[in-house]
Structure 1
């Protein structure tokens, strides 16, 4: 879903309000990853219906590609005898957040003192949440977040953003982060995170 996230929703010129409302209906607490997960789950419940996509302003081809990728991943898991399990408690999204954080710990940022921008951990780059995100202009602003990709236009924008807790980074990536990297959160934004051994940001545009 992340790999296809830029093309899942479409917005016809003559039905912009309807398309925006349909997209808003998919939004879930926690961030954009859970919006995408909700799209996937609702589509799967319709037995991958093309009509559902048409009614909800979703790109059937994009979702079909996501389904192909998922089937491949499930097949690889089966081959190495990893049991694919659903989240046991759908009301508790923490296990999913931690799992995604374990894979994308490098793509993390914290809110700056100004409150309108973020600074990437380790590389200390000033970045902004993309206007298409469900967390754009969220009140109160999310303090620590994870992003899927960084897009360079007039500013550096974060796409597909999810709220995380800084202590999770020490849990899942203690080999990469030191407590000093996260002291901005611990001290209530009084200090900027230190830049340690940065060799450039591995971003995708």
Structure 2
């Protein structure tokens, strides 16, 4: 079934479009594909980006905190880069252009999610402590993307490259993968006091 992509806040989209129309912002971007792109550039596939917050109680669900929106920047038939925004006290502002393996992996995961039998709302879930990004498929497709929180029926698709021991592009139930992530993020136990 198709994904139900949430609408991005207008100021977030406008900030990316303004950056795309700025020759300086595009020319100085550290994204070779964007600097050499031919034809018009357009922002599409808005995805809310959330920070993974481990569960505070054993067996509990993790939390998610909205940190930004990511747009795929289309140049002709392909995706050249991602445009990212962040929320500041003054509202949504353009953050940066980026490219790399997560860009193609996100495209692949979105196509993969489109083949699933249920409708989901796509988000990106960032786990910086593991250098991990996952496509988070929220089971409530009409939820407010800014306040959405993990649900036991949600799915996660780790993007490539995934941390060791986690298979990228494999669909995981959130309740199965979240505890693994939480354990890996936990500080090591204290080994006792020195003698």
TM range (shorter): under 0.3
Bigger fraction of residues in strand = 2
TM-score (normalizing by structure 2): 0.27
Bigger fraction of residues in helix = 1
TM-score (normalizing by structure 1): 0.26
